[in-house]
A and B are shown apart, each in its own frame.
Chain A
Amino acid sequence: MKPGRKKQNPYLIAGMAMTGSAAGLGLLGAFWTPFGTTAMSAAERFQAPSLRHLFGTDNFGRDLFSRVMQGMGTTICISLLVVLFSAFFGILLGALTGYFGGVFDEAVMRVIDAVNGFPSILLALVMISLLGNGRQNLILSLGIVFTPSYVRIVRSEYVKLRDADYIMRARLMGVGKLRILFVHILPNVLPVLGVSLVIGLNNAILAESGMSYLGIGVQPPDASLGNMLSDAQGFLQSAPWYALIPGLAIVWIVLGFSLFGEGLRRLGE
């Protein structure tokens, strides 16, 4: 690869710009929004986008720009927590099973095979039915659902690396198991994990918005892009922007993250 080309990574730049803007708006939305996310106004219901209301208003006269800000924040925040949760347990289980193998490995892998075969959103739905509704339970359910994919990735890396020369040497030198697991091997697993984290984030965003759309994720009056879309569906004809805007916001974030991931991958090459 020519040296000059490395700097030109349009994927990375576009991805960063899109995710950055979404995350920035979401973060800002946690502290300040132009109209407040739940402030209602009877006089301004179903306003089309204008200078005053950039994204228009909904059936309660709530400012959609403010709600999209909050919704983006909620969606990104939940997805991040889900990915962190599943990555943490993925690394833990993947490292232990991959490095030590044995019966424990076999058992975990069987369970993971079973879970993997099952559509993730359905599994999360069933978990929610066991745990009950609510934001924490949503994160927990999705976190558990996404854990197996990380266990797989991490495990296969550990299986590859456990017999590598430098690990053998470290073992001979009497380095403790924990140290080998998390100080010697883990850093070499992270690059592979990095890309899958971004992909995982995308899946988490799609799953969160899907569940909120079905009414089992974030509950009204809190805004989430999924539940806004579900509220808006009936007004497609009379107020198309109401559905289009939260929908496009989801697309914006997901597209941003996938470009970002693609950029990362190319950077790696």
Chain B
Amino acid sequence: MKKKLCGLLLTALLTMAVLGGCSDGTGESSGDNSSAEPAYGGSVVVGIQQDIDSLDPHLATAAGTKEILFNIFEGLVKSDEKGNLIGAVASDYTISEDYLVYTFTLRDNVKFHNGDPVTAEDVKYSLERASGLLDGTALISALSPEKGGITGVEILDDKTVQVTVGSANTELIYSFVAAIIPAGSGEEEGADPIGTGPFSFVSYTPQEEIVVKKNPDYWQEGLPYLDQVTFKITGSAQTALMEMQGGSIDIYPYLTDSQAQALAGGETHQVLTSPSNVVQALFLNNAVEPLDNVLVRQAILYAIDKEEVNVFVGGGSGSLIGSAMLPSLTDYYVDLNDEYGNNANVEKAKELLAEAGYGDGFDLVIDIPSNYEFHMQTGEVVVEQLKAVGINASIHPVDWDTWLEDIYNGRQYTATISGITCDQTPGYLLNRFQTDSPKNFINYSNEEYDRIFVEAQKEQDPVKKAEYYKQLQKLLTDDAATAFLQVPGNMTALSNRLAGYRFYPVYVQDLSTVYLVE
């Protein structure tokens, strides 16, 4: 949702993302039942693993929140299940050749959930609030004037809004998924969110559920099918599984392989799989001893058996990676798995540790957000592998909020297992490794990397640009910046009474196309 599909979301973390992988494996995986006649009405329960951080679409930062708000809010544009942008509140838009002026034509008959039609005023207000033009505080930093975002919003007529931006950026259009809200409603959005999405907000009970109901005025003909959707915040992955078997959760994304196996047999749910758009890694803090030593980091990379992680935790559904790029972005991806191998090389790892002066090993605490069973299980496997080379690793489960605050923002950690999500733009995964990026939570610092990244951003020729991006990936791998593991497969449980579920290449849960089969 908001923030560009990915914009700086820290989103990142989120466990494996829901959506299908970027580009190719996405599309409609609506399950076996999709041939059945769609029926209208009914309600479903979607299990989610974390509480939301804000109902205000411009304030929400966690990907786990945005994936839900996707159903309530829409921007001028939104992502479709192929990852392409389609018009939402705007029916059409043009971008000037210098990429500095965007002209949006508003769609007719789009109404807010409160019944009011969306006006150009509302759009202007929303964009100015998100970019910080309103009161100086940018809520979505990619849109802020300081970052080359929006510098002015002008209403040309009732149906036309013109936006000028500070710098030419071919990828900025993705940030216009930022939610459009009624003019002047900013203060209330957090308590009473009003948007234009297929579902309207009903209630939120912290740690329990978010309930939304059908928006009868939704502009897309025929959608949504369901009358009501409850996003239920599950206490733990274990109880969630019980609740699925008991029939009280209909949809549950991001299963681990063991959970998928427990549902095998398909008595209650079918398990759908699609590549995710998440890069899962054992993130290493490059600024902390002993991980500030490149030899130690390389030793860790040699010690890890990515294939084993994939088999144990994901049942082999993931794609192994050696750097920060999705294999599905074929033009930009370079396979670097061979550099350290997919399997453990214990000898080599021990050799490097000895060379670095850690022949006797060392203690390594790995912080893991405990609400993500997938990362926790990965941790158990990785700890075993590190022990084999003499690194005495242990797991320290942390709460999600603590993770965001202390580890992601505060960078107070040595190693952590988590995931970073991405959008369809190749630069997104790589920009966080610039020395001064606020998202550079591993404290990676390489002048050559910073230099090439700037070059890559400036480059307009796609082939040369891809070449730069490949060099960047190689640098990350050579420096053993972090132990990239895999792009996990996203296994989603879908109740047998449902069909129409779609995987997206971005991190959203789209319930508008889901329907009951009778």
A219 with B395: in contact, given A45-B258, A60-B312, A234-B259 (CB under 8 Å)?
yes
A231 in contact (CB, < 8 A): yes
- Identify A221's interface contact among B238, B383, B396, CB under 8 A: B383
Q: Which of B238, B242, B379 has the largest number of chain A CB atoms within 10 A?
A: B238
Q: How far is the CB of B394 from chain A (nearest CB, A)?
A: 7
**Could you tell me which B residues sit within 8 Å of A by CB distance?**
236-242, 245, 258-259, 261-262, 264, 308, 311-312, 370, 376-377, 379-381, 383-384, 387, 394-397
Give CA–CA (A7, B236) in the complex, Å.
50
B370, chain A: closest CB distance, angstroms? 7
Q: Known interface pairs A45-B258, A220-B376, A220-B395. Does A233 touch B242 (Cβ–Cβ under 8 Å)?
A: yes
Q: When the two chains form their complex, are residues B384 and A40 in contact, meaning their CB atoms are under 8 A apart?
A: yes
Contacts of B384 in A (CB 8 A): 38-40, 221
Number of A-B contacts (CB under 8 A): 69
A203 CA to B285 CA, complexed, in Å:
42
A-B contact pairs, 25 of them (CB 8 A): A38-B380, A38-B387, A40-B308, A42-B308, A42-B311, A42-B312, A59-B261, A60-B380, A60-B381, A219-B395, A219-B396, A220-B397, A221-B395, A231-B238, A233-B238, A233-B242, A234-B237, A234-B240, A234-B258, A234-B259, A237-B245, A237-B262, A238-B261, A238-B262, A239-B262
A234-B312 contact, Cβ under 8 Å, with A39-B384, A221-B380: no
Knowing A215-B397, A219-B396 are in contact, say whether A234-B241 is a contact too (CB < 8 A). yes
B381/A40 in contact, CB under 8 A: yes
The 8 A-B residue pairs whose C-beta atoms are closest, nearest first, are A234-B241, A59-B258, A234-B238, A233-B238, A238-B262, A221-B380, A42-B311, A235-B262
CB contacts (< 8 Å) of A237 on chain B: these are: 245, 262
Which A residues are in CB contact (< 8 Å) with B240? Answer: 234
Cβ-based interface call for A46 (8 A): yes
CB under 8 Å from chain B, chain A span 28-45: 38-40, 42, 45
With most chain B CB atoms within 10 A of its CB, the pick from A215, A232, A233, A237 is: A237
> For chain A residues 195-241, which have a beta carbon within 8 Å of chain B?
215, 219-221, 230-239
Of residues 140 through 159 on chain A, the ones whose CB sits less than 8 Å from some CB of chain B are none
Interface string of A52-69 (1 = CB under 8 A from B): 000000011000000000
- Least CB distance from A231 to B in Å reads 7
Q: Give Cα A232 to B458, complex, Å.
A: 52
> A133 within 8 Å of B by Cβ?
yes
Residues of A close to B261: CB separation below 8 A? 45-46, 59, 238
User: What residues of B have a CB within 8 angstroms of the CB of A232 in the complex?
Assistant: 238
Interface contact A234-B262, CB-CB below 8 Å: yes
State the Cβ distance, A134 to closest chain B Cβ, in Å. Answer: 9
Q: Is the CB of B242 within 8 A of A219?
A: no
Other A-B contacts than A221-B379, A221-B380, A237-B262, 16 sampled, CB-CB below 8 A, are: A38-B380, A38-B383, A38-B384, A40-B381, A40-B384, A59-B261, A219-B394, A219-B397, A220-B395, A233-B241, A233-B242, A234-B241, A234-B258, A238-B262, A238-B264, A239-B262
In the assembled complex, which residues on chain B have CB atoms less than 8 Å from the CB atom of A215? 236, 370, 397
Chain A residue contacts of B242, Cβ below 8 A? 233-234, 236
B407 CB to nearest chain A CB (Å) = 15
Residues of A within 8 A of B376 (CB): 220
Chain B, residue nearest A38 (CB): B384
- Chain A nearest CB, measured from B452 CB (Å): 39
What is the distance, in angstroms, from A35's C-beta to the closest C-beta of chain B? 13
Q: How far is the CA of A40 from the CA of B396 in the complex (A)?
A: 20
Residues of the A chain whose Cβ atoms lie less than 8 Å from the Cβ of B308: 40, 42
Across the interface, name the chain A residue whose C-beta is closest to B267: A237
| Complex-state Cα separation, A219 to B396, whole angstroms | 7
Closest to B394 in A: A219
Whether the Cβ atoms of A235 and B241 lie closer than 8 Å is yes
0/1 string, A220-264, CB within 8 A of B gives 1: 110000000011111111110000000000000000000000000
Nearest Cβ distance between residue B277 and chain A, in whole angstroms? Answer: 26
- Among B258, B259, B370, B383, residue most surrounded by chain A Cβ atoms (within 10 Å): B258
B383 in contact with A40 (CB, 8 Å): no
| CB of B128, distance to nearest CB on chain A (Å) | 42
Q: Which residues of A contact B377 (CB under 8 A)?
A: 59-60
From A220, A230, A238, B238 is in contact (CB under 8 Å) with A230
Give the nearest-CB partner of A61 in chain B.
Answer: B312
> Could you say which residues of chain A place their CB within 8 Å of the CB of B241?
233-235
Q: How far is the CA of A233 from the CA of B240 in the complex (A)?
A: 10
- A59 to B313, alpha carbons, bound, how many Å? 9
Chain A residue at minimal CB-CB distance from B385: A40
CA distance A60 to B377 in the complex (A): 9
**Most chain B beta-carbon neighbours within 10 Å: one of A40, A220, A235:** A220
Is there an interface contact between B380 and A220, defined as CB atoms closer than 8 Å?
yes
Partner of A233, one of B239, B379, B394: B239
A245–B239 CA distance with the chains assembled, in angstroms:
19
| Chain A residues in 8 Å Cβ range of B383 | 38, 221
| Residues in chain B near residue A238, CB distance under 8 A | 261-262, 264
CB distance from A97 to the nearest CB of B (A): 39
B349 nearest CB across to chain A (Å): 18
**Given A60-B380, A230-B236, A234-B242; A40-B312 close (CB under 8 Å):** yes
User: What residues on B are CB-neighbors of A236 within 8 Å?
Assistant: 242
Interface residues of A in 45-91 (CB under 8 A from B): 45-46, 59-60
A59 to B236, CA, bound (A): 17
Nearest chain A residue, comparing its CB with the CB of B307: A42
Tell whether, in the assembled complex, residue A235 and residue B396 are in contact, meaning their CB atoms are under 8 Å apart.
no
Q: Which residue of A lies closest to B258 (CB)?
A: A59
Q: Is there contact, CB below 8 Å, between A235 and B381?
A: no
Nearest A residue to B264 via CB reads: A238
Chain A residues with CB under 8 Å of B387's CB are 38
User: A221–B377 Cα gap in the complex (Å)?
Assistant: 9
Q: Which residues of A contact B245 (CB under 8 A)?
A: 237
Which chain A residue lies CB-closest to B239? A233
Expressed in whole angstroms, the minimum distance between the Cβ of A85 and any Cβ of chain B is 24
Chain B residue numbers with a CB within 8 Å of A230 are: 236, 238
